[in-house]
Structure 1
Amino acid sequence: MDRRKVTILCSGFGLGFYIPGLLAASAFDKRGITTEVLVFESYLEQDKMDHIADSRKAYHNNFALANLSARMPMDIRGSIDYAQVELLLEAWKAEDRREFISLSGHWVYILDLYREKMLPNQIHVDLLYVDSDLAPSWKSLKKFHPRYDEHYYNACLYDTDKMEIRCEIPVSLSTPLPFDSRKQRLVVHGGGWGMGTYQSKVPELAGKNYGLDIVAYDWKEAKPDPGHRYWMNDPEWCAWVKSGNGLHEFPPYIEITGEETNAYDAKADHHWLFDVASEAMAIVAKPGAGTLIDSLASATPLILLEPFGSHEQSNLELWESLGFGIRYEKWREMDFSVEVLKEMHQAIMNRSGERTDYVDHYCARVALTKG
């Protein structure tokens, strides 16, 4: 087979459908396989794209509204900029692109158009589900296009029937830090969009024997505080805007410690929050897709906050069942025990089953020549 480029189709609507795509791209790159990462929102009509910032702010401010929106099916086809899409498909066809991985259901409409162009030359598409149940983009797709996966491969990281992990997306090649070598700190965040109940837990956690690494959503949340460190993605950064070198990259970030503010460039092969989480005793967060990947790769247990949508509820139940996470309320009843965190860390380290790397799994199924 000729040398091929794997096209990784992400979404910026939640960083859980963006960061794992970049991690996969980094893993392909380490194997000598070229990739291109694209973000769905780049192919929306301008007025729809402009509206995303309003939605993000509304969901950050009102978690109940966010959860309501997760239950409302949306036919995204009316928002796509088809003139731009046509240019993209022609470019793909000229290059004879055939290998794709999609992390968002929204891309399937575009992939279907490309498949029609390429017949009889088949394309290979992995539909990569990074949650343990269908996230809103997949649910909407299924409603309006019930047989959407007919020509594509369903690649699931998790098996909810068996409560097992099928595949993993590694973040780092290094071995997780032993629990006794970690800082007595907790990472507290609300996912890529700063959603959920995480802020309400800070006052209570501040009174316990843990330092806090709090991920702020914007500047007004990041208060200089001698007891905590505040972090955030650079507020100017946007997932669907390419960086200066024309690529989609991990977010640059800001650290606020006491009165000091330091800005850092994006890391080359993983996101900055993983490094903070890797040194902590636990992550206090809702169970989003990216958070599960961080938890597993760093062997850092999750203190589970209220989930966003039924897909995150399923994630919560999976992590709880595996012994990798505990609901916040239950941990509170245990007086915020360090010992419980250590047991969960050990459960992640000693997990049973094959540790199948998703990228290896992809390469084994789809004959790819390195180059």
Structure 2
Amino acid sequence: MKPTPAYVLSAVLAIAAFMAGRWTAPAGQGTAPVDPAAAGDSGASRTAEGPSGRAAIRNTERSMNMSRLSEQVARRMTPQQRLDLLSKGALVFDGRKQADMLCGLIAAMTKEEMAEATRLLAQAQDGGNSCSQAVWDGLWKQWGRVDPVGCVEYFAANPDSKSRTDARFLMEGWLEVDPDAALAWAKQPKVTRLDAAAASMAITWNSNGDAKRLGEELISMPADSPVTKECLLDYFDLASLDKGSPSAAQIHEGLPPALQEAAWPVTLQRLTYTDPQAAKEWLEKHADDPGQDYNDAGRLIYELSKHDAEGTAKWAAGLPPAQGSRPHPAQEAIHRWLGADREAAMAWLATLPADSPWSAKAASE
């Protein structure tokens, strides 16, 4: 069914309202929302059928106050009309107005429109006008509803600019329309970080917010799977809300050994942003454990160095060697001490044995 001219007119007027509001609204004053039904059949048909211009004027005024383009209105447009409006809306500077205008539009889009919609938003953003995060979230969710496999393939072809959160919104949309297929896909082996993030979202969703149930699922999965490691992030979220509000260290202690290894970096990360001193003590105790991963230790070094750069550097230099090729925390700590008091740091470095990994490395910086 073709959209009526009145529906299209309503949408165009909404675009005009947003653009006009950007340049003419007084500071701090937004547009007043109205019932989305005001943009529906009754108002539109009155505009078309009125014997004089008065009804059209009233409808125009009402449309100029509209702060949200509804999904209902967007569904009455053609795909090309939706994409044209998306292209215009992507140029709206105010992020909140842009989201109000585009989220309903995106929710009405079909499988065939998703790739072009993504291109248009990226084009606007590359041109200098950042798109609202709510718009991007809505885009991935809608793509997950109408073409999840296509979205997975798009992420695989464009991984560098996509985040863990993007992948989870894709999965959220997929779970809405076909949870069985989403879970079946999630339980297949995954390699990439985005696939793992999407799969972990489905597995966590299937636990219905129950940490114990999610933990049982994790025990049945390969401990070294990237999906298991992603799910552990959710597991710590859920477990921390259990009775007694256990700390990340306590949650780690309660895991079976295989999962403790996989959860090593998650534990350090969570302790760092909740209690850096507790994170320091935990790291001292567990630095030789299987699963040691210093990749997230940089944040801890930063927090500790703010208060005691010298003490942090000397402490970090005594930690066990890094497993694999990961950077040792002492590198960051000594660098920060050099920045705070180069003379004192260099004097200390000169006292280290000649074969120390820190003296030569730090002195050459």
TM-score range, shorter chain: under 0.3
Considering fraction of residues, name the structure with more strand: 1
Larger CA Rg, structure 1 vs 2:
2
Considering fraction of residues, name the structure with more helix: 2
Higher RCO (CA-CA < 8 Å; seq separation 6+) = 1
Q: TM-score under structure 2 normalisation?
A: 0.22
